[in-house]
Amino acid sequence: MTKPLVEVQGVSRQFDVSKPWLNRVIEGESRRYLKAVSDVSFSIPRGGTFGLVGESGCGKSTVARLVVGLTAPSAGQVVFDGMPVGGPNWSSQRRRVQMIFQDPYASLNPRWRVAWIVAEPIRTFGLLIGDQAVRERVDELLELVGLDPRDAEKYPHEFSGGQRQRIAIARALACEPDFIVCDEPTSALDVSVQAQVLNLMRGLQYSLGLTFLLISHDLAVVKHMSDAVGVMYLGRIVETGAQQQIFENPQHPYTQMLLDSVPKLDVVPGDRSFEDVGAEVPSPIDPPPGCAFHPRCPLQFEPCKSEMPVLSDQGPTRVACHHVARRSQ
Amino acid sequence: MSLIDAAHDDAQRGEHLLAVRDLRVAFPGRRGSLVAIDGVSFTVAPGEVLGLVGESGAGKSMTGQAIIGLLAPPGRIVSGEIHLRQRRIDQLSRTEMKKIRGSKIGMVFQDPLTALNPLFPIGDQIIETIRTHKNVDLAAARARAIALLQEVGLPAAEERMAAYPHQLSGGMRQRVVIALALCADPELVIADEPTTALDVSVQAQVIAVLKRACAERGTAVVLITHDMGVIAETADRIAVMYAGRIVEIGPVADTIHAPKHPYTRGLMGTIPKLDEEADTLVQIPGTMPRLGAMPDGCRFHPRCKDCFDRCRLERPELIPLQKSSVACWLWDDSETARREQAFGTAAHD
């Protein structure tokens, strides 16, 4: 078996959300930490797509930042092609990992022409020498993402959301990366434009052999794009497995609840009850003891309140749930 | 006029609660006015849930704002009529409109944090609204507020009366906003993207609450959203908007499972589905035209794969079919051959 391109090994990240020192002394409080990501592990084979789903606040964007090295992990490490991210020789590999952000209105400099935006990484990494060569490469990249080379002279405000996301993709591709982290790449777009961008990403993956980490709250998008999927809840992966297994045969009660609560096109009105979905996501500063999902879980029993379940192989997927573990014994 | 007739036929049932006829909303500007909504007509029957869908910029929110008289200036209604129970409401004065808002028409906005006053406890805000519209004393209003909060599923409603909006989660806030919209027993609620700011699991709860509370009271709902799934599970009828016009309106099952307008068909194909495996998604090329540069004829024709000469020249109005109406020349009686070519021989209504 070939080694996976990206390996995330037991990564955790906590943020200090304590009050200032003086307030802590006067009010007699201790430091408080927000555990954004706890002990997350997964790996992505070369040319594959790993989808990470979860509701807001579950830590999926923090995982994206950890994987590209924008945030340093508190524990664990991310290994890219055999080299730890953020390690001693990381800067020479930096070019090979790129990121596409959610909001194409915020991720492009409004004062720069598209040609400069796309050419910047080429110049920074010294991939091509000479204005003419750079210019030709920019034209080529714009054509690759379905824009006109003449668009290079325009500014970002002259484009629609979908076209801007294409520019962001062109810029990410300018460094000739192997691995792209896509953090909610289509959440700001309309469905018809979303389809264009998703099809473009798919096509580029096939033609350039890219590896993707796709982060989204939209289950249907993750299902459409991914080979393997991880479901996150309050900073932990609660279930992970092949795309087909997760969506057709979910084991964890949270995954089942998520899939059930997505509004579907072919449901007969009045044919189902939403009501059984209880409560909302608790605060990651003060997570419930034991399994973080237990206050919302219809299947909870004694150990869920005290013991943290660990990921273990449960038939088709890896699941962190006491109930599933007991059932399979 | 065929347009008004179409709107009439639409509701099948006798009296309409809300009738919008040939509504046009424009923004006057230095280089002539920009028409954002161009000839929109539909009706809502009492107790009915009408879904208004479309992509951003289609004019769906603006239609909602026009109905309750909250169009952001300089936008204004330039022609057309809006009737609520036979009473024309698009020309009322500000003070008269104020009486209708809240008491006759409730409103649920997208972002519950901006819809609630951050400086007052939620209980006070509900009591104030009840007492503005209904002649009741404080104790009765308070009891009613608690009952409403219980109805929308706010746990520990009595204690939460003293809570400020920031102390509640997004889903809880949206429940409070729904309680506010319903507190004067309106006949119609306009819900503008009520769940877009919420997570899926919470979205399902909030939709269920809205749907149940309105069904129990017989309140009609105009549900504005871009999410086809939400509409499919909630609405009785769907109106699909594109570039300021309704392109297709009809019962949910027909519009979703047998869409007739090429735009609706494309839109359905672009949605990634959980229960289907597809290698590539259907793609509608291009983007919605800008307000200042609307194409002649059918506004969808530059992106339409079934477009022919007539589409470029003449603008289609809604053509009434058996259950639904479609604004597309393919459904004109004289274009049967073309229609069969585009849809296959199974195309009939």
Q: Residue A297's pLDDT band (boundaries 50, 70, 90)? A: confident
Does residue B7 surpass a pLDDT of 90? no
Per-residue pLDDT tens over the stretch B165-179: 988 888 889 989 999
Give mean pLDDT, residues A63-78: 91
- Please give the residue of chain B at the shortest CA–CA distance from A276: B205
CB-based contacts of B156, cutoff 8 Å, min separation 6: none
pLDDT of residue A267: 62
Is B281–A198 a contact, with Cβ atoms under 8 angstroms apart?
yes
Mutate to test the interface with A, among B172, B214, B287, B305 (most CBs of A within 10 A): B287
Q: Specify the DSSP class assigned to residue B91.
A: T
CA A234 vs. chain centroid, Å, equals 14
Q: With contact defined as beta carbons under 8 Å apart, do B14 and B47 qualify?
A: no
Is B273–A280 a contact, with Cβ atoms under 8 angstroms apart?
no
Q: Specify the DSSP class assigned to residue A268.
A: P
Token couple for B22: 């040939």
Share of chain A above pLDDT 70, in %: 95
Does residue A233 surpass a pLDDT of 80? yes
Closest-CA distance of chain A to residue B13, Å: 20
Is B283–A196 a contact, with Cβ atoms under 8 angstroms apart?
yes
Distance CA A200, CA A204 (A): 6
CB < 8 Å to B252, chain A: 269
Is A220–B273 a contact, with Cβ atoms under 8 angstroms apart?
yes
Instruction: Enter the pTM of the model.
Output: 0.84
Per-residue pLDDT tens over the stretch B16-74: 899 999 999 999 888 888 889 999 999 999 989 999 998 888 888 899 999 998 888 88
Q: With contact defined as beta carbons under 8 Å apart, do B333 and B320 qualify?
A: no
Per-residue pLDDT tens over the stretch B180-211: 999 888 999 999 988 887 888 788 888 888 88
- Adjacent-strand bridge partners of A12: A75
| Interface predicted TM-score (ipTM) | 0.77
- Please give the residue of chain A at the shortest CA–CA distance from B289: A160
Give mean pLDDT, residues A50-59: 88
- Adjacent-strand bridge partners of B52: B224, B239
Does residue B13 surpass a pLDDT of 60? no
Q: Residue B1's pLDDT band (boundaries 50, 70, 90)? A: very low
Distance CA B107, CA B87 (A): 19
Helical segments of B11-137, H only: 60-67, 94-103, 112-115, 122-133
Helical segments of chain B, H only: 2-10, 60-67, 94-103, 112-115, 122-133, 138-151, 157-160, 170-182, 200-217, 228-234, 252-257, 262-270, 309-313, 336-343
Closest-CA distance of chain A to residue B92, Å: 35
Asked if the peptide bond before residue A156 counts as cis, ω within 30 degrees of 0, the response is: no
Does residue A169 surpass a pLDDT of 90? yes
Per-residue pLDDT tens over the stretch A191-208: 888 898 999 999 999 999
- Please give the residue of chain A at the shortest CA–CA distance from B168: A280
∠ CA B320-B285-B55, nearest 5°, is: 60
